[in-house]
Amino acid sequence: MNADRPAIAVTGICGNLGRVLAKLLHKEGQPIVGIDRRLFPGKPKDIEFHQVDIRKRKAEEVFRKRNIGALIHMGIMHDPRMSAEEHHQFNVLGTAKALEYCARYGVKKLVVLSSANVYGPHPANPNFLTEDAPLMASARFGDIRDLVEVDILAQSFLWKHPEVETVILRPVHIVGPTIQNAPSRYLRLRRPWVLMGFDPMVQLIHVEDACRAMIEALRPGLRGVFNVVGPGEVSLSAIFKELGVQPVPIPHVVARPLLDQLFKMRLSNFPPGELDHIQFQGTVDGSRFLKATGFRPKYDLRETIWAALR
Amino acid sequence: MNPAPLRLPGPTEIGDALRRRLQELAFRLGGDRLRERLAALRVHTNEFGQDPFGMDLDYVTTALGPLLWLYQQYFRVQVRGIEKVPPGRCLLVSNHSGQLPLDGAMIAVAMLMYAEPPRAVRSMVERWVPTLPFVSTFFARAGQVVGTPENCIRLLESEECILVFPEGTRGLNKVFARRYQLAEFGQGFMRLALATSSPVVPVAVIGAEEQAPALVNLEPIARLLRMPALPITPTILPIPLPSRYTIYFGEPMRFEGHPNDEDRLIEEKVQAVRSTIQSMVKVGLEERKSIFF
């Protein structure tokens, strides 16, 4: 492999999302440098991989030695069972370090994977939140303030370092057969809870479409903050009807304390803050990204809904 | 032979049966006209029949059953001047009364059944509506949208017709002694009209005041119960009386100016709309021959 050809560095490459992205990038023949503190089982031979913690000096060494043209940063942990402090340390400090390396070693392009969850579902939300909407997620669900902080860190980097083309992507709920995030796990439940009398519109994106959006964001000249949407909005009840699942309606006044207890007793892996997503609207406007790149999802609404299961 | 096991219908079966019955009612009352008008509606729906804001035409048709019955048989609604409503984006601005927002529903039925082209009116609901179970879902599927400026601008820019009640609950829950006297108007609608250069169509509803004459509004108790109002009406229960409705549509009003002008400049324009509606109400009351018959 020609070491002088600028490579695309990917943090968090060993995650389920990271591996889908690596596969797509690999197929395009791009030289890839993976960085993750986890193991990479089944790694293709020609992917260069460094098993290091992004916060450690060894990770900086990769940037120093290797010619890196772009960084896709998705080394962000979403584990509801991990302590809030560990979460914060890894996500916020890890991102700060990744940004620092980009500025210091002349990386031209930076793509940060944030999430449309940073706006937070809320009853008074407009139906289509634009990129200018305030990031209110942690107002009602404190445990995810590190994700909001990651987004804000990246935003200030975007302004402070005009020499690095920074793109912040805020995709809607990513679903896919290998994905283990809350929305995908929720859609796989046989008897999912719904909140009685509530049926918000939700937006999903297929994991491959989310990865294609990240690759799209590498295009030269693109800079800024973008929501990324999938094939459109659909009500929660229509999703379950399509999947042939009979959800269990629970009154919202009971559901919150009940789930709180179940989560503490480790009988459920859904933190109670997630209930807002099945009660209130948190849908976003994806037109800015469409206008800037022409990106359209490959999977339609039905395929995307089923993607969580297959 | 075994007797067939006794099987109780589940909630979805009951729901489906009710939906079918209400849709039958809608088509019995609306006939072919309703079928044609629903077909002519310009709605962009997904594979599941929902538009991006969550409106569902199947659901709208279901709701139309009882609403058409109220429109035709109960309130015996008369419509004047609906041909003045322009095609494309517009803001319908109406007086608001009657304790229950049935005036909005009747305007929406009129626009669907008699406006040219047929329109699915979107009205702007209060921001706390999404916190209510069932009500939130019902409103969203029927095409009602949370009243944020962003939603309103988005809908107007896609050439939709929006219904606003600038009096809000101040108008809806006023007591009978203040009937047909318009409460203070908010300014939001005017700023939105200016931002999207949308015409404002003044609307006057006569008859809704008498459906639920409130003798008093027990505001302290309402506050205690966290309700917007607690009006005491002769029927006590929220059942409206069968008053005769007339809906007047006025000439579209066009305004020029900047949406962020200072309050004083906006207020002048708001007052122009308010006084137009007040005088339409006055004319309507003079023309009215009987309240209930």
Interface test with A, best of B150, B157, B162 (most A CBs within 10 A): B150
Q: For tokens 């997904």, name the residue.
A: B46
Tokens standing for A92?
A: 């916020």
Single-letter code of the amino acid located at B47: E
To the question of domain B76-287 being in CATH 3.40.1130, the answer is yes
**Candidate from A124, A232, A235 with C-beta closest to B148:** A124
CA distance B181 to B184: 10
CA distance A305 to A307: 5
What is the reported pLDDT for B69?
A: 94
What is the reported pLDDT for B221?
A: 76
When pLDDT is averaged across residues B161-173 and rounded to a whole number, the result is 88
Share of chain B above pLDDT 90, in %: 61
**Candidate from B47, B137, B150 with C-beta closest to A126:** B150
Higher confidence at residue A157 or residue B173?
Answer: A157
CA distance A138 to B280: 49
What is the reported pLDDT for A43?
A: 87
Rounded to the nearest integer, the mean pLDDT of chain A is: 93
CA A228 to chain centre: 10
Q: Which residue of A lies nearest to B125 if distances are taken between CA atoms?
A: A124
Helices vs strands, H then E, count in chain B = 9, 9
What is the reported pLDDT for A122?
A: 93
What is the reported pLDDT for A10?
A: 96
- The torsion angle over the Cα atoms of residues B165, B167, B173 and B177, rounded to 10 degrees, is -120
Between chain A and chain B, the number of residue pairs with CB atoms below 8 A apart is 78
DSSP string for B41-109: ------TTSB-TT--BHHHHHHHHHHHHHIIIIIS--EEESGGGSPSSSEEEEE---SSSTHHHHHHHH
When pLDDT is averaged across residues B105-110 and rounded to a whole number, the result is 95
Provide the pLDDT confidence category of residue B177 given band limits of 50, 70 and 90: confident
Which of chain A's residues have a Cβ under 8 Å away from the Cβ of B145? Answer: 127
**3-class secondary structure, A89:** helix
pLDDT at residue A2 greater than cutoff 60: no
**Candidate from B54, B130, B134 with C-beta closest to A123:** B130
Single-letter code of the amino acid located at A288: R
CA distance A294 to A174: 20
Domains in chain A, please, with CATH?
A: 7-175+204-230+284-298 (3.40.50.720)
C-alpha pair distances (Å), B127 with each of B133, B147, B153: 14, 6, 16
pLDDT tens across B202-246, in order? 999 998 888 877 777 777 777 777 676 777 776 667 788 888 999
CA distance B167 to B172: 8
Phi and psi, residue A87, nearest 5°: -55, -50
CA distance B65 to B105: 12
Q: How is chain B split into domains, by residue range?
A: 76-287
Among the ranges given (B98-102, B117-121, B187-191, B277-281), the one the predictor scored with the smallest mean pLDDT: B98-102
Q: Which residues pair with A170 in a beta bridge?
A: A227
pLDDT at residue B8 greater than cutoff 80: no
DSSP string for A174-234: EE-TT--SHHHHHHH-SS-EEETT---EEEEEEHHHHHHHHHHTTSTT--EEEEE--S-EE
What is the reported pLDDT for B279?
A: 95
Provide the pLDDT confidence category of residue A4 given band limits of 50, 70 and 90: low
Among the ranges given (B149-153, B179-183, B225-229), the one the predictor scored with the smallest mean pLDDT: B225-229
What is the reported pLDDT for A1?
A: 47
When pLDDT is averaged across residues A226-240 and rounded to a whole number, the result is 96
CA distance B212 to A114: 52
Which of chain A's residues have a Cβ under 8 Å away from the Cβ of B52? Answer: 127-128, 201, 232-233
Higher confidence at residue A277 or residue B177?
Answer: A277
pLDDT tens across B63-103, in order? 999 999 999 999 999 999 999 999 999 999 999 988 888 99
- A184, A242 Cβ separation under 8 angstroms: no
CA A242 to chain centre: 25
C-alpha closest to that of A154 among A167, A137, A163: A167
Provide the pLDDT confidence category of residue B11 given band limits of 50, 70 and 90: low
What is the reported pLDDT for B218?
A: 76
Among the ranges given (B24-28, B74-78, B234-238, B280-284), the one the predictor scored with the smallest mean pLDDT: B234-238
Query: Do residue A234 and residue B48 have CB atoms under 8 angstroms apart?
Result: yes
pLDDT tens across A78-128, in order? 887 888 888 889 999 999 999 999 999 999 999 999 999 999 999 999 999
pLDDT tens across B239-263, in order? 888 889 999 999 999 999 999 999 9
What is the reported pLDDT for B92?
A: 97
Which of chain B's residues have a Cβ under 8 Å away from the Cβ of A134? Answer: none
- A222, A108 Cβ separation under 8 angstroms: no
Query: Do residue B137 and residue A198 have CB atoms under 8 angstroms apart?
Result: yes
Distance from CA of A168 to the nearest CA of B (A): 23
Query: Do residue A197 and residue B133 have CB atoms under 8 angstroms apart?
Result: yes
**Candidate from A127, A232, A235 with C-beta closest to B151:** A127
Query: Do residue B130 and residue A280 have CB atoms under 8 angstroms apart?
Result: yes
Provide the pLDDT confidence category of residue B172 given band limits of 50, 70 and 90: confident
**Candidate from A124, A127, A238 with C-beta closest to B48:** A238
pLDDT at residue A283 greater than cutoff 60: yes
Query: Do residue A127 and residue B131 have CB atoms under 8 angstroms apart?
Result: no
Q: Which residues make Cβ contacts (< 8 Å) with residue A266, sequence separation at least 6?
A: none
H helix or E strand, kind and range, residue A36: strand A32-36
For chain A, the residues whose C-beta falls within 8 A of a C-beta of chain B are 123-128, 130, 195-199, 201, 232-235, 238, 241-242, 251-252, 280-281, 300-302
Among the ranges given (A55-59, A143-147, A190-194, B277-281), the one the predictor scored with the smallest mean pLDDT: A143-147
C-alpha pair distances (Å), B49 with each of A32, A81, B108, B230: 43, 39, 20, 38
Distance from CA of B218 to the nearest CA of A (A): 27
